[in-house]
């Protein structure tokens, strides 16, 4: 799906999962958890009773591509909730982005899955609409894209 750039549309975003990201002045920020004892950062922020051991911490918006591949077939449903069926499935890139001194994040990579991606290239956080939810709000997920 296309990236949302319009400010009005950004305000209509809802995270795919609670506590996944927040908008700071219309700018997406992923939310990780910092272990109160060890200082280790994890993503996503743990939930339930385990969350008590962590403080919410905003993650960096940029990082470096650590590894990647292309998903060329539709994953099993459930848990996959993407659009379409086997016939019209659109391949997409997935990978890991290292947020320096924080954590390595598993992520979808925006853009053409056959674009030239290189280990170590600069990546930046973006939001991607996933499906239209209630009250014309977009259920959105995070993704990373190469820095222009």
Position 11 scores a pLDDT of 54
Would you state the structure tokens that stand for residue 130, as one six-digit string? 């996933």
Q: Classify residue 127: in a domain, yes or no.
A: yes
pLDDT tens digits for range 81-93 = 666 677 788 888 9
Domains identified in the chain, total number? 1
Q: Classify residue 116: in a domain, yes or no.
A: yes
pLDDT tens digits for range 4-33 = 445 555 556 666 667 888 888 878 899 999
Q: Classify residue 83: in a domain, yes or no.
A: yes
The range of the structural domain enclosing residue 114 comes to: 7-146
DSSP structure string for 10-54:
HTTEEESSTTSEEEETTEEEEEEEEETTT--EESSPP-GGGGGGE
Q: Classify residue 2: in a domain, yes or no.
A: no
Residue 52 phi/psi, 5-degree rounding, is -60, -25
Q: Classify residue 88: in a domain, yes or no.
A: yes
pLDDT tens digits for range 102-140 = 999 999 999 888 888 999 999 999 988 766 566 666 777
Q: How many residues does the chain have?
A: 148
The CB density around residue 102, as the number of other CB atoms within 10 Å, is 19
The CB density around residue 10, as the number of other CB atoms within 10 Å, is 16
- 3-class SS of residue 97: strand
Q: Classify residue 1: in a domain, yes or no.
A: no
Would you state the structure tokens that stand for residue 41, as one six-digit string? 């950062």
Contact (Cβ atoms closer than 8 angstroms) between residue 109 and residue 92: yes
């Amino acid at each position: 799906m296309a990236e949302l750039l319009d400010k009005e549309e950004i305000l209509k975003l809802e995270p795919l999962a609670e506590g996944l990201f927040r908008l700071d002045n219309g700018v997406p920020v992923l939310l990780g958890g910092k272990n109160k004892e060890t200082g280790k950062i994890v993503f996503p922020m743990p939930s339930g009773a385990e969350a008590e051991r962590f403080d919410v911490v905003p993650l960096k918006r940029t990082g470096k591509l650590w590894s990647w591949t292309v998903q060329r077939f539709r994953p099993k449903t459930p848990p996959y909730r993407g659009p379409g069926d086997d016939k019209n499935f659109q391949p997409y890139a997935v990978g890991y982005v290292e947020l320096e001194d924080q954590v390595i994040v598993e992520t979808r990579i925006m853009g053409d899955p056959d674009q030239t991606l290189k280990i170590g290239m600069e990546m930046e956080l973006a939001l991607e609409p996933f499906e239209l939810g209630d009250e014309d709000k977009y259920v959105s997920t995070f993704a990373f894209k190469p820095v222009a």
